[in-house]
Amino acid sequence: MEGGVNKDLSNLKTPSTDEEFTDVLLQIRASKTPAVINYGASWCRVCNQILPAFQKFSKEFSKLSFVYADIDECPETTQQIRYTPTFQFYCDGERVDEMFGAGEERLRDRLWLHS
């Protein structure tokens, strides 16, 4: 996949179909583990700029589950997304926060808040 998302990182999931993304969402809701979903697109310059930081943070914030969902690979399950990147934060299986746009320090602060 473009952007260099490493599918081997256990703390970072990168579903590449609507079915896989639906499974990931079900896991987030069932596990009650705090999670962050990064909705992006391979053609989005800002998404590609923040992706390396998102990957780095997935190692730094080990108590959070990280998910990168490409809106073009998961069109049915991401059709509510209007801006890329969009970050959604989950706690106890429920969405509790949302952040639009990039900004490494903004993202780090939000991750710290939700971890």
Q: Judge whether 44 counts as a catalytic residue.
A: yes
**Looking at 24, 47, 74, 81, which residue is catalytic?**
47
Query: How many distinct helices (H) and strands (E) make up the chain?
Result: 3, 5
Q: Judge whether 74 counts as a catalytic residue.
A: no
* Beta strand segments in 21-84, E: 35-40, 65-70
**Which pLDDT belongs to residue 10?**
62
> pLDDT band at residue 2, thresholds of 50, 70 and 90?
very low
95-108 pLDDT, tens digit per residue, is 999 999 999 999 99
Domain ranges in the chain?
A: 12-114
- Cβ neighbours of residue 92 under 8 Å, at least 6 residues apart? 32
**Which pLDDT belongs to residue 31?**
86
**What is the pTM assigned to this prediction?**
0.90
**The listed CATH number (3.40.30.10, 3.60.15.10, 3.40.50.720, 3.40.50.1970) that belongs to domain 12-114:** 3.40.30.10
